[in-house]
Amino acid sequence: MARIRILVVDDSVVIRKLLCETLSRDPELEVVASAQDGRIALSKIQQLHPDLVTLDVEMPVMNGLEALKELRKLYPKLPVIMFSTLTERGASATLDALSLGASDYATKPSNTGSPELAIEAIRAQLIPKIKALGSAAPPAPKTLPPPVPAIRVRPRSKQPIEIVAIGTSTGGPNALAEVLPHLPKDLPVPIVLVQHMPPIFTRLLAERLAAQSAIPVAEASAGVTLVPGQAWIAPGNYHMTVVRAGLSRRLELNQNPPEHSCRPAVDPLFRSVAEVFRANVLAVIMTGMGSDGVLGCRQIREAGGEVIIQDEATSVVWGMPGLVYTAGQADAVYPLDQLAPEIARRVQQSRIRQAAASSAGAGMESRAK
């Protein structure tokens, strides 16, 4: 298999050297060149045609956002991973970059004074994303059938949907910006969601989504009571779960060990909504790399809940939804632009079914008398 050819762009000599040396040690990767600013990077892309670019946010001459705008005009499909600092400024610029078409991001090691820790951070965080986004292998022919009959048609539950739980990762911020703003403000259920992101990033993402959406969107806090028509995003570095509190349900946060190398992770949230809400759950798995969410979806379906996923064509990476699909844990597959109307439709239809069942039951009771 051909190695993934990478262009590293960063104004720091130390970071460039660290990235080039660490990436080059992986037999599946090849660093074809490096550049210290966006203008040089654009010329090297034209010369070398890399499979993927890692792009620093803050650089002289032409910064990462400026370079990304020009790059996307010329190379709309070239995978770009932003490499940013774990700061308020870095997080805000990274979210700007994602909205401009960056494929994903990774945060710079916080302590470059420790080469071992920095190298391990790059191996754990950046290299898997490069391999997921920059694979040079040709895609399989679209005429091949799926390997398993992944959609297993089940009788529709008669239980009303009382909560929507969403899980997403790579490509998620832009995907969420296509879903949450298109949900009606009178949605009669709460929404809880996990987006794989570090601290600061999740708060800024919630603020941006809130500014675009009819429903309130906030970063979750421990002890918050769930109410209809609002959405909560798990904060970075915390798992989020739902617990019973008398007749109400509330959110709890914990720092239990990461799952699937993630904290927050989707599976802890999905396990908790399956336990608390049983069959009254609609789960949604959207674009993302890795396997987080598969086990949680299985538990939701075993409890009687429903699971829908984003399709491959509109996903940046069809890892999370694809594995739910191949595991036979998806009730249906939809392109991104159909997810919001489908969520609203399923919630509304579940209530209509419940009302009809209650009416029929009342009629039978009346006739029996």
Q: CA-CA distance, 55 to 57, in Å (whole number)?
A: 6
Instruction: Tell me which DSSP letter residue 326 carries.
Output: H
Please report the beta strands in the chain, taking only residues with DSSP state E, as ranges in sequence order. 4-9, 29-35, 52-56, 80-84, 104-107, 163-168, 191-195, 217-219, 231-233, 239-245, 248-254, 281-285, 306-310, 332-334
Decide if 75 contacts 49 (C-beta within 8 A): no
Helices (H) and strands (E) in the chain, counts: 12, 14
Catalytic residues: 169, 196, 292
For residues 204 and 92, the answer to whether their CB atoms sit within 8 Å is yes
Diameter over CA atoms, the chain: 85
Rounded CA separation 233/213 (Å): 14
Question: What 3-state class would DSSP assign to 309?
Answer: strand
Residue 113 DSSP symbol: T
Closest CA to 154 of 308, 263, 51, 22: 308
For 292, residues 6+ apart whose C-beta sits below 8 A from its C-beta are 167, 169, 196, 259, 260, 262, 265, 266, 267, 320
Structure letter (DSSP) for residue 122: I
Query: 5 pairs with which residues across the strands?
Result: 30
Task: Specify the 3-state DSSP secondary structure of 172.
Answer: helix
